[in-house]
Chains A and B, each alone.
Chain A
Amino acid sequence: MVSLAPYVLKRPWLTKMLTPAANWYASAAGYRQLGLRYDDLLEEENEAVQIALKRLSAKESYERVYRIRRSVQCSYTHKLLPKDQWTKPEEDVPYLRSILAQVEAELAEKDALDSMTVIKKH
Chain B
Amino acid sequence: MISRSALSRSAQQAARRSGVVPRRGFAAAAAAPTGSYETADINGLKVASKDTQGPTTTLAVVAKAGTRYQPLPGLTYGLEQFAFKTTQRRSALRIARESELLGGQLTASHTREALVIEASFLRDDLPYFAELLAEVVSQTKYTTHEFHEEIERILPYKKAAVNADVAGLALDNAHAVAFHSGLGAALNPSPSAPFNKYVNEEYVASFADVVYSKPNIAVVADGAGAQSLSKWVDQFFKGVPAAARSGQTLKTEATKYFGGEQRTSHASGNSVVIAFPGSDSTGSKPEIEVLATLLGAQPTIKWAPGFSLLSKATAGTPGVSVASANQAYSDAGLLTVQLTGAAASVRKAAEETVKALKNIAAGTVSKEDVAKAIANAKFNLLEKAQTRGSSVLLAGSGLVNNGKVQDLVALTKSLDAVTADKLKTTAKALLDGKATVSSVGDLFVLPYAEELGLRV
Contact = CB atoms under 8 A, between A and B. Distances in A.
Given A55-B144, A118-B101, A112 B3 contact: yes
Identify whether the interface residues of B are mostly helix, strand, loop, or mixed.
helix
Contacts of A109: 3, 91, 93-94
B96 to A, nearest CB: 9
A113 B90 CA distance: 13
B97 interface: yes
B202 to A, nearest CB: 13
B7 to A, nearest CB: 8
Contacts of B97: 113
Contacts of A106: 91, 93
A11 interface: no
B5 A121 contact: yes
Interface in A100-122: 106, 109-110, 112-113, 116-118, 121-122
A65 B390 CA distance: 53
B190 to A, nearest CB: 26
Nearest to A55: B145
Given A55-B144, A55-B145, A116 B1 contact: yes
Interface in A26-57: 54-55
Contacts of B91: 106, 109
Interface string A81-102: 0000000000000000000000
A110 B144 CA distance: 20
B93 A116 contact: no
Contacts of B16: 122
27 contacts: A54-B145, A54-B148, A55-B144, A55-B145, A55-B148, A106-B91, A106-B93, A109-B3, A109-B91, A109-B93, A109-B94, A110-B93, A112-B1, A112-B2, A112-B3, A113-B2, A113-B93, A113-B94, A113-B97, A116-B1, A116-B2, A117-B1, A117-B2, A118-B101, A121-B5, A121-B12, A122-B16
